[in-house]
Every structure is written in structure tokens, then in C-alpha cells.
Amino acid sequence: MRIGIIGLGRMGGNIAVRLTRHGHDVVVHDRTAAVTAATVERSEKGRATGVDSVEALVKGLEGDTHRVVWVMLPAGAITEACVKQLGTLLGKGDVIIDGGNSYYKDDVRRAEELAAKGISYVDVGTSGGVWGLERGYCMMYGGPEEAADYIDPILAALAPGKGDVPVTPNRDATNLDPRAEQGYLHCGPSGSGHFVKMIHNGIEYGMMQAFAEGFDIMKSKNSPVLAEGERFDLNMADIAEVWRRGSVVSSWLLDLTAEALAKSGELSEFSGEVADSGEGRWTIEAAIEENVPAPVMTAALFTRFRSRSGNNFAEKILSAQRFGFGGHVEQK
């Protein structure tokens, strides 16, 4: 199958390369020509074609039964402009995929506008960060059933597959989607994919914050404010490592924390000023609209705000985790 990909940053470029490794052809474009060239170079020989414009990318898909373009750009105005442009270049039966972190209400609006032209819009919440090239991407997507089925070979190639994850008991029920066990899931109509990914990221905020606070408490156990007999000089790297081995809290986030602490116990290379990319805010907004209490995720979001006006070891843990899974660099 052939697909166009616009935006070849940390994830877009790796998505293109992974698809070529699984026998698919890609037409790729990035606003920086050198990035486009590098992606073609990393791809399987003969399976990637680099172009210098969105128009050339669409032209490069001519002859396909349904032209499919994957947009992997920052959420907001940049993605909005690209989708609008594609809406003027594509036609009936074609498919636009937004694989970024767009706000789900924007997806609902775009899908309605594009449907009037006969263009299908699929929103794909994509998790996997800089590790997706090798591990695969967990994907939650929304859109018309017909379009979702058509792009299934693309999503199946990008997904991690069952791997060595233990089988969940009772997954043979008829109302359960077997694709979920492969690491990708059609969640419902347009907007539902990014909504599920949005909540995923809100949960991520809370999990990261819990680890960060716990390690900060342990690191401070040697504080002079405590009675001398109650002070412990604990090794953060060793604690993170032992928790990885059979602990209830073992997870990829803990793996990343252990890796960062083994490299630099004080995490001095991180500023501790933690950014938020939007999904946490949108999750809290959704909770408010639905009258659903979300105190943990709300507190985690507000802690990130506070980190930018003076920070501590907990925020450095968060920075290390964000760098580990997504390559996010927060300068010291």
C-alpha cells in the first residue's frame, strides 16, 4: 500500500521508515528539505520518495484507488492549515489522517467539513514516542468504518503486535475487538481517537507525578530537618532498579526513570521546568464538562505550571521521563 506523510519530525520520520520496513511505499514531505532527504535515506531502498511540496506529495499518489495522506504536525494552526490545503487537493474517496495530538473537537468539525467533499477524516492518537520505530506505536483512532478498514494494513504495520505481553483472560468475548491485542483500536466516529489519546495523556501526567513525588520524598529523607536517627541516605538509582523487578509499580515510566537515575543520580542535566503539550488541559476541561472529578490529573497539571517558577528534584524526574519516552528537551 502507498501513503503520503507530511511532517517528518521525531515521530513522523520514524513512522515512514517503519512502514517501508513492512513492505509499504511512502511519499514524504517536510518543510526542511534535509529532513525529507534523511528520511528517504533511512527508509528501505526504493520504497520512499521525497517531494518538496504538499502539492507534489498529492500528485505522487495519483493512480491509487484512494489517496491516503498522514499529517504528523504539531496540533493547532499548523495542522489546521495543512488539513485545509489537503481538502482542496484531494477528492471523493480519499482519506486524510491526523496522527498528531489535535483537540478532538477540532476533529469533529474537520470531519464534517471534509465529508461534504467526500473525503474521509481519521484521527489517530499515536503513542510510542521516539521508541516507536522499533517497538511499534499504540494507536487509538476514530473515523468512518469504511476508511478505517481501508487503512488497516497501514495501522497493522505500525502497531507493536502482541509481542510478549501476557494474554488477558476472557478476551474471547464477541464484543471485544481483537485489534486491541495488537496495539491499535478503532474507537468510534471522528474525534474519538484523539479523545481517548487525550485521556491517556492525562493519566500519564498523574502517573508521572506520583513517581516524581515519591522519589522526591525518598531523596529528602536525609534532610537535616529530621532527627538524626530517622535520616536515610537512599540510592535513587538502586531503588528504581529494584522496583522494576516484580514490583506492582513496574512500568515503562519506571524503566525510563531508572535509566535516567543510573546515568545521573542528581539529574543535573535537567532544569525541572516541565512543559505541558495541551492534552492534560483538555482532559481537565472534558472532566469539567462531564461533571467528573479528576483531582489527581488536575493536581499533576498544576504542578507543571508551578515547576516553571522554581522547581525541585520531582520536576527533574518528570523532565527525565519526558525525554526518555518522547525526546522532549527541557533546557537547564
Tens digits of residue pLDDT in 233-265: 999 999 999 999 999 999 999 999 999 999 999
7-43 pLDDT tens trace = 999 899 999 999 999 999 999 999 999 999 999 999 9
107-127 pLDDT tens trace = 999 999 999 999 999 999 999
Give residue 310's pLDDT: 75
Residue 263 is among the residues annotated as catalytic for this protein: no
Helix (H, G, I), strand (E, B) or coil at 98: strand
Residue 331 has pLDDT above 80, yes or no: no
Choose the catalytic residue: 80, 84, 145, 204. Answer: 204
Lowest mean pLDDT among 69-73, 130-134, 231-235: 130-134
Q: What is the pLDDT of the chain when averaged over all its residues?
A: 95
Choose the catalytic residue: 41, 84, 145, 197. Answer: 197
Residue 53, all three cell numbers: 511540496
pLDDT above 90 as % of the chain? 87
Residue 189 has pLDDT above 90, yes or no: yes
pLDDT-based confidence at 311, cuts 50/70/90? low
Helix (H), strand (E), coil (C) string for 153-205: HHHHHHCCCCCCCCCCCCCCCCCCCHHHHHCEEEEECCCHHHHHHHHHHHHHH
Residue identified by cell 489519546 is 197
